[in-house]
Every structure is written in C-alpha cells, then in structure tokens.
Amino acid sequence: MLFRLFEPNNQRGQRALLGLGAICLVMSCGSKFSANSSAGGHGGEGLSIDAAGAAGEAPSGGSESGGSASGGVSASAGTGGSAGTGGKPATGCNCSAGSYCPDGTKTCSMCSDFSVLNFAAPEKLATISQSQAGNERFPRAASAGTDLFYRAGLDGKPSIWYAATPISGVGRALFAALGADSGPLFAPSFSPPQNFFFDRVNATTGIRQIMYATWANGVLSDTPKAAPAPINGGTGDFSVAIAADVRRAYWMRARDKGADLVWATFGSSATMPAVLNLDVQVGVGKKCARLGDDATPWVNATGTLLLFRSQSMDGTCQPNDSGAFDLFATPLGKDGLPLTPGTPLSNLNNTGGMSTETDASLSQDSCTIYFASDGGKGEFDLYRAARN
C-alpha cells in the first residue's frame, strides 16, 4: 500500500466574513460560553459551522504536544441535537436528517452549507468527563452515528479511547498499553483501506509519528503502522487532519523550536509537505499571524473548511488572556489554501479567565461541533454544540 505525499504548488465580533463573499461566520448576540457555568455555555444563538460529522455525540483526538480544552456545561441526552435531525431541534419547522432549523426562521438549512455558522449553547459530555482517565481532548467522530474517538489520560499517560454512547456511556481504551498516543482521526473515505489515524511516540527514537490502521465495525482490524514518508519526516509529526475526498492532508511537524502546520496532497498528484501559514482575525479589520505550537487542525472531507486553534491576541498581535487558546475557522479554496484569515468562533470561545478552547471538529453530517475546554483550570473536558 502506498501513501505518497510530495510538493504542493504551492475578538471576537458579532459578524465577520469567512470567504470570498460567499462564506461568512455569523456571531450571535448571546452571552459568552462560560466553562464554569452550571448551565453550560452561553445562551442565545450559537455559531453555525460546517464540517463532516453526525449530529448527536462524536469522537475526539489530538496530539501529545497539541492543544487543550474543556467547557462547563452539564450534558443532557435530550439537548444538543440528535442524529436523526441534526443541529438544534426544530422550533417552527420540521427538518430532515442533515439539516437544521435556524433560530428565528421557519426554513430548514442544510448542515453542509457553511455560509452561516451558528451554534446553540455547548453541552458537556459529562459521562466521559467523569471517567478515571480524565483530561479528555481531541474529540473526533467515529462513524456517521454518535460514537466518538478521543484522547484521555493525565500527564505522561494519554491514550486513545472510544465511546459508543458519549452522553450516557463510558469509553474504552483502544490499546492495552496506555501512554503517549494522541490525535485520533477517522477518515472513512480514505483509500488505501487504512482509515484510522493517530500519533504515537516511537519507543526507540522518542520521536512522535503518525500511525494508521483500519477501523471497521467498532474495532481495529489490523496492527497500526507508521505512515510512510514523507508524512513522517523524522523530526516529529502529529495532529493529522485529512480531506479524503480531495486527497489532502494537514498536520503538525516539529522543528527546533515549536512546530509548523504543513500540508500536502497524496495519490497520483502527490506533493511534498509545505508550510501553511495561517492568519487570524483580531477585532475589526485586523489580522495577526497564528500563535502557538499545535494548531490542532481539522478539515472536512471535501476540503472546504479548516478548523484550528490559536493563542488569544490583543490588537497589537500579542498574546493575552495568559496565552490561552481560542478556536477559529477559515474557508479553503480549491487549491487547499485559506481564502481569508481565520474567524474566531466567538460563541464557543470563553472570554477571559485563562480558558483554553481547542481541538474542534465537526460530525460527519456537519450538524454538530465537538471541542475541548479547560475552563482556565488546566484539565480538559469535552463539549458539543448543535447548529443553530
């Protein structure tokens, strides 16, 4: 099986454009999400996001050197959307699977339409968050249903877990030997048959590398192997995101100080990895270069939307909020490059309090977003929010 990659041709606001006139993020006027809130999140309209995934519950994953996150919402099986309808339960319209009813309207919108990204108040995946493993991150959908992959484990012993029912059930570790695994990702349309990715520290070299295996019918059907060069470049590779339909990969590559976000195409038109520089929108009409080590990238299967994290910045592009991370989204062009600076997901980002929000991903039907937050306390829990 060949997995070849070669060289490519190369603060929150109320409303912001996210695209070349066609894609925009709509920020709600509701109160900000509070990771410490007993009610769980901010009220009012959320922020709608497009991605790949299923409404209801979803998985997580990430890299050992990656981001972190957690929120403060209590989970409820009756809120946050369902796999049958996607997004927020309809109020005034009866929406089919893969669509949702935006607040204040009686017309269903397709979750695959990224032109408006609104979310309902986030809810905490409380059952998973109460597990003994603790410190959950990188939620990623495990199928078109509600099951999730995620990373869990305290410092030095993270591992990859799977939860068939994240709202009501406790997850299970995928590997008997726990420790140093992170960044799970299920790419169902990826070919060759290996469709499950994660990153692991090589026991001999001590270098983190991206692994792949085959996930089918709720189990790994083969032994994970290191993905072939050049996806593993020898310096450390982690936090992979794959747009399988257009055969592109985005991931983090370690360097002497920090790490770079790189990308490449694979298959018949394979390219060598190239650095992908990201800007983020700060305030109105101001952009700054992304800050922070791991961008914890996630991309939808068709390669049109990239979710990532960056350190929170002030108007002079300097870190604020004690270096906490926020979530951003940017549309991607047909060439795989960002069309605009990343727009902050203001309804998910906690304002102040040194709270980090990180590791965002969408369900396969794009009706639900998943992310992690630490509420400023340093230990992460998982959250989800429905399209609204």
Per-residue confidence (pLDDT) for residue 70, from 0 to 100: 34
- Whether residue 22 has pLDDT greater than 50: no
What is the pLDDT averaged over residues 35-55?
33
Indicate whether this model's pTM tops 0.95. no
One-letter amino acid identity for 313? Answer: M
Domain spans in the chain, listed from the N-terminal domain onward: 1-388
Q: Which of 125-134, 303-312, 370-379 has the lowest mean pLDDT?
A: 125-134
Surface-to-core class of residue 40, CB atoms within 10 Å of its CB (0-12 exposed, 13-18 middle, 19+ buried):
buried
One-letter amino acid identity for 310? Answer: S
The string of DSSP codes covering 321-344 is: GGG-EEEEEEEB-TTSSBSSPBEE
Structure tokens at 64: 């050992």
pLDDT digits (tens, 9 = 90+) for 325-362: 999 999 999 999 999 999 999 889 987 789 999 999 99
Residue 133's pLDDT band, with cuts at 50, 70 and 90, is: low
Per-residue confidence (pLDDT) for residue 35, from 0 to 100: 35
pLDDT digits (tens, 9 = 90+) for 201-232: 998 889 999 999 999 989 999 999 998 877 89
pLDDT digits (tens, 9 = 90+) for 233-272: 878 999 999 999 999 999 999 998 889 999 999 888 889 9
| Class (C level, CATH) for 1-388 | mainly beta
Per-residue confidence (pLDDT) for residue 210, from 0 to 100: 96
Per-residue confidence (pLDDT) for residue 385, from 0 to 100: 95
One-letter amino acid identity for 297? Answer: P
Give dist(CA 305, CA 297) in Å, integer.
Answer: 10
Per-residue confidence (pLDDT) for residue 118, from 0 to 100: 84
Give dist(CA 73, CA 370) in Å, integer.
Answer: 13
Average pLDDT, the chain: 78
pLDDT digits (tens, 9 = 90+) for 283-297: 888 999 999 999 999
Give dist(CA 53, CA 366) in Å, integer.
Answer: 5
% of the chain surpassing 70 pLDDT: 74
Per-residue confidence (pLDDT) for residue 90, from 0 to 100: 45
One-letter amino acid identity for 83? Answer: A
- Whether residue 305 has pLDDT greater than 50: yes
Give dist(CA 103, CA 106) in Å, integer.
Answer: 8
Per-residue confidence (pLDDT) for residue 347, from 0 to 100: 87
Residue 376's CB is within 10 A of a number of other CB atoms, namely: 18
Per-residue confidence (pLDDT) for residue 230, from 0 to 100: 76
